[in-house]
Chains A and B, each alone.
Chain A
Amino acid sequence: DPKIIQKPKYLVAVTGSEKILICEQYLGHNAMYWYRQSAKKPLEFMFSYSYQKLMDNQTASSRFQPQSSKKNHLDLQITALKPDDSATYFCASSQDGTDTEVFFGKGTRLTVV
């Protein structure tokens, strides 16, 4: 059973619209993250949260807003969608500690038309 659930698996959106990508983890982790991977590009770190607080934001655009309603949830709201936002968005989580591994979800593939 997948321990990190991302919904939906595939998403098609119209330019200018708003979408929310869902992420839930059942690993009991305190830290959660969002990464983005555009076609044929390396995985790009976006946000990190620890105990539901924003720790790092490497996303230049304010159109991307993480939302943490519960400790094991970290959704990603994207507003004013652009075709360049088309990518696979991966949610991840990890336990506290200095040398623990980060677990990744299967991703949400977003296509903006």
Chain B
Amino acid sequence: DAKTTQPDSMESTEGETVHLPCSHATISGNEYIYWYRQVPLQGPEYVTHGLQQNTTNSMAFLAIASDRKSSTLILPHVSLRDAAVYHCILRVAVNTGYQNFYFGKGTSLTVIP
């Protein structure tokens, strides 16, 4: 899997909108961009994923650059429950029936009350 680069940590205040960047300069055309988050003592939780178009769901908005070499996870109106380590992961879209994810250090998001 291609590598991603994320800042080690970011900080935000409750109620603000947070932009979490991810760089994936060597992304291949068939690689999806996945975002997971993990809080201490819990398993990772799926946030969102996309291929080329921006995507949105109840948790976040994923903005994908037109050249796909970077993406930004946008969390609107963060709360204390959004404090977690956020992982940006690339996954090749092959129809193998299974999905191996390789996690890096991710971005540790601190939310201040």
Give chain B residues whose Cβ lies under 8 Å from the Cβ of A96: 97
Tell me whether chain B's interface is mostly helix, strand or loop, or mixed.
loop
Q: Which of chain A's residues has its CB closest to B106's CB? A: A42
Interface size class of B (residues with CB under 8 A): 20 to 34
Q: Does A107 contact B (CB under 8 A)?
A: yes
Q: Given A33-B100, A45-B101, is A98 in contact with B94 using a C-beta cutoff of 8 Å?
A: yes
In whole Å, how far is A3's beta carbon from the nearest beta carbon of chain B?
Answer: 12
Q: For the complex, what is the distance from the CA of A101 to the CA of B98, rounded to whole Å? A: 10
Q: Does A81 contact B (CB under 8 A)?
A: no
Segment among B40-48, B63-71, B75-83 that sits at the interface with chain A: B40-48
Interface size class of A (residues with CB under 8 A): 20 to 34
Q: Which of chain A's residues has its CB closest to B47's CB? A: A101
Give chain A residues whose Cβ lies under 8 Å from the Cβ of B104: 42
Q: Which of chain B's residues has its CB closest to A6's CB? A: B43
* Contact of A94 with B103 in the complex, beta carbons under 8 Å: no
- Contacts from A to B (Cβ < 8 Å): 30-31, 33, 35, 42-45, 48-51, 55-56, 58, 88, 90, 92, 94, 96-107, 109
Q: List 12 contacting pairs A-B, 8 Å CB cutoff, sorted by A.
A: A42-B104, A44-B103, A45-B102, A48-B99, A48-B100, A55-B96, A98-B32, A99-B51, A99-B91, A101-B34, A102-B99, A105-B43
